[in-house]
Amino acid sequence: MTGIARLALFGHPVGHSRSAQLFETWSAKSGPPLVYQPVEVRAEQLDAALERLRAGQWHGANVTIPHKTLLAARVDELTPEASRAGAVNVIVRGEDGTLLGANTDGEGFWEGCCATLGEPVPAGLALILGAGGAARGVAEALARRGREVRVVTRAPQRAVRDFAGLVAGCLDWEAPELESVARAAALVVQATPLGMAPVEHLAPPLPIEWLERALVVDLVYRPWETLFLRRARARGLRALNGWPMLVHQARLAAGLWFGIEAVRGFLEAAAEVESRDPLRRSA
């Protein structure tokens, strides 16, 4: 890319996202000149937004709630990760207007957890709560590393199809075996919006006393510490929020748009954004 790169975030809602702050801080400190524009796109407006992207209004885009799975069928090509996950969170526009769909959520989750822990994500059974677009990316990254993954969802029959080849089983919240699966889990990933502002008072209906040793990762980072994370920490479990995943999926997206060499200063910019975040300071 030459000149000022124009990037978009397609979603509904997009107001909660911190991506613009991350990319613009990076650009100001050490990254390429860019403008990052959150764009409210409802499902019925998605095709029109993709046409504007093809026509060159933006050089690339991030995708968030609720379009990640819809987009997998609407781009021209998918990376292997996006194809296996059936979910897209990054679109790379080619010079000729073709659109490549990529998934950096899963790898961002993995790299963000490892970087924060200073060691690999614990081996053993992984339990993912929720079966949306983020859950698919995380399941793909874990499955690719040979991890056994189970998903808890309100719609297990649909999830069995959506997560085919990625998970060893899909349970509903009332399943009798959920307790023994939770007790055995080495990793629990909270991938529902329960607990995210403005529903901070909610948590997924998984009794925290069922978790005996799991690392708990809540993909939500607004609030900085969700009710579910508070409960996990009070029980003495190791627990991470969604910020490391956000930072690393964004760094990987920047690598796809600008080239890997360009993104060296990205983590420094992310640390600056984190240090001035009022949510973090009040947590």
Number of residues near ligand NAP (by CB under 6 A):
26
Nearer residue to ligand NAP within complex by CB, 27 or 104: 104
Q: How many whole angstroms from its chain centre is CA 82?
A: 13
Smallest distance, ligand NAP to C-beta of residue 200, A: 12
Amino acid at 141: A
Residue of 59, 68, 84, 93 with catalytic role: 68
Residues linked to residue 240 through DSSP beta bridges, in sequence order: 217
Decide if residue 194 touches ligand NAP (CB under 6 A): yes
Dihedral sign for Cα atoms in the order 26, 31, 37, 42: negative
| Contact predicate 214/191, CB 8 Å | no
Nearer residue to ligand NAP within complex by CB, 57 or 83: 83
- The number of C-alpha atoms within 13 Å of 204 and in the hemisphere containing its C-beta is 28
Smallest distance, ligand NAP to C-beta of residue 134, A: 3
Separation in Å, CA 186 to CA 169, 180, 194, 201, 264? 16, 12, 21, 26, 32
Decide if residue 134 touches ligand NAP (CB under 6 A): yes
Candidate ranges 29-37, 94-102, 116-124, 129-137; the one touching ligand NAP (CB under 6 A): 129-137
Smallest distance, ligand NAP to C-beta of residue 175, A: 13
The whole-angstrom separation of Cα 82 and Cα 115 is: 23
Q: In sequence order, what are the residues at sequence separation of 6 or more whose Cβ sits closer than 8 angstroms to the Cβ of residue 95?
A: none
Candidate ranges 41-49, 96-104, 231-239, 243-251; the one touching ligand NAP (CB under 6 A): 243-251
Nearest to 19 by CA among 225, 222, 226: 222
Nearer residue to ligand NAP within complex by CB, 68 or 147: 68
The whole-angstrom separation of Cα 1 and Cα 27 is: 14
Decide if residue 132 touches ligand NAP (CB under 6 A): yes
The one among 72, 128, 185, 196 contacting ligand NAP by CB under 6 A: 196
Nearest to 18 by CA among 283, 228, 270, 229: 270
The one among 68, 93, 147, 150 contacting ligand NAP by CB under 6 A: 68
**Site residues (CB under 6 A) for ligand NAP, limited to 205-224:** 219-221
Residues linked to residue 129 through DSSP beta bridges, in sequence order: 152, 190
Candidate ranges 61-69, 94-102, 120-128, 224-232; the one touching ligand NAP (CB under 6 A): 61-69
Q: Based on the residue annotation, tell me whether 29 is a catalytic residue of this protein.
A: no
Smallest distance, ligand NAP to C-beta of residue 138, A: 9
- Catalytic positions: 68
For binding to ligand NAP (CB under 6 A), which residues are involved? 65-66, 68, 105, 130-135, 153-155, 159, 191-194, 196, 219-221, 242, 245-246, 249
